[in-house]
Amino acid sequence: MADEDALFAEAMGKVRPLNPSNKIDSESLKKRKKELPSREVRIGTVVEPPQRAFSPEITDDPWQLIADGVSRERVRRLGAGRPPVASTFDLHGMRRDEALELLVEGFKEALIGGQRALRIIHGRGLHSQGKAILKEAVYHWLREGALAHAVLAAIPEPGSGGGACLVLLRRQG
């Protein structure tokens, strides 16, 4: 123990407290963060997430994802068709990996094209043995996949019986 204390004292020997004028309080740190350039990386014209990537929040309903700051009114409008659906991805009959590959490519194109609302038809899992494999895979990908940072909300499409979802995408800037 004494050896560790000696090593620590030696390593810290030249460390001195900061002058009060050099200290950063929480308010000045907030101001500094606003002034710092974004750490977003662009691939093509799709914005990749910064280091502290956000993902949609899980709500009480496992089939509803809503990012922090998205109002219930905004989600209600999505369900009512505003903005209108720009692209539909029909995943029926696909294997999980195949379906997720299609989503990655389709979402990249949608983001590049400035699309805001998408429909994903994943089915209800009635033909799956056990649980709904595609439905669960789609929602997991929307929440934690490579492009989760672009998802503001995902809700079951009204009238689909739970076999499709509507996705609201973040504006690309």
Ramachandran angles phi, psi of 116, nearest 5°? -110, -35
DSSP state letters, 46-63: EEEP-SS---PEE-SSTT
pLDDT tens across 108-145, in order? 999 999 999 999 999 876 666 667 789 999 999 999 99
The residue assigned the tokens 């502290």 is 52
The CA distance from 140 to 146, in Å, is 11
Task: Give 38 or 108, the one with higher predicted confidence.
Answer: 108
pTM above 0.85, yes or no: no
pLDDT of residue 17: 63
Residue range 1-36, pLDDT digits in tens: 677 777 777 777 776 665 555 444 445 444 544 444
Residue range 39-52: mean pLDDT, rounded: 42
- C-alpha closest to that of 160 among 130, 138, 140: 138
Report how far apart, in Å, the C-alpha atoms of 45 and of each of 52, 111, 153 are. Answer: 20, 8, 22
* Residue-range domains of the chain with CATH: 54-169 (3.30.1370.110)
Contact 87, 48 (CB under 8 A): no
